[in-house]
Structure 1
Amino acid sequence: MRDLVLWLSRELVEKKDAVRVETIERDRSTVLELTVDPDDLGRVIGRGGRTAKALRAVLEIAARRQGRRAVLDILD
């Protein structure tokens, strides 16, 4: 799941080297913390949060296929 979020995020931003995804594991859930360059934050969030919602939806589907729950936090 981490690799999926990393790949999708790098495709959205200009400064690909600044993309970081930290993983925090819990019992049956995973929290992924996404950090990007401040100039690229708007690209990851999108207009009205649409891009962020789409990223979270894809992550949720990937997690369910593994019998887990995942949450994406976009840090600024």
Structure 2
Amino acid sequence: MEKELVAYIAKALVDNPDSVEVNLIEGEKSTILELRVDPNDVGKVIGKHGRIAKAIRTILGAAATKTGKRVILEILD
């Protein structure tokens, strides 16, 4: 569920939604989501002073409370 949520949010923010990729890495206590976007769109996903990235992480944390796992979002460039 978290993977689709991140992909949906990222596609709404960027100019090239076709280049959005989200990889899911499952661990015992945590889940890592790797978000990869077009190099020209990285700034749009991070936002000024990281505000958009922080907001996405906050939404992910709220969505992950059902699973009881910690969700980590990594934005790759």
- TMscore range, shorter length: over 0.9
Structure 2, unaligned stretches of length 5 or more? none
* Aligned equivalents of 2:8, 2:62: Cα separation in 1: 16
Which residue pairs with 2:17 in the alignment?
Answer: 16
Which residue pairs with 1:72 in the alignment?
Answer: 73
Give the TM-score normalised by structure 2: 0.95
* Aligned equivalents of 2:13, 2:67: Cα separation in 1: 25
Q: Displacement of 1:66 after TM fit? A: 2.1
2:30 maps to amino acid: S
Structure 1, unaligned stretches of length 5 or more? none
Q: Displacement of 1:67 after TM fit? A: 1.6
2:26 maps to amino acid: E
Q: Between Structure 1 and Structure 2, how many residues are aligned?
A: 76
Percent identical among aligned pairs is 49
Give the TM-score normalised by structure 1: 0.96
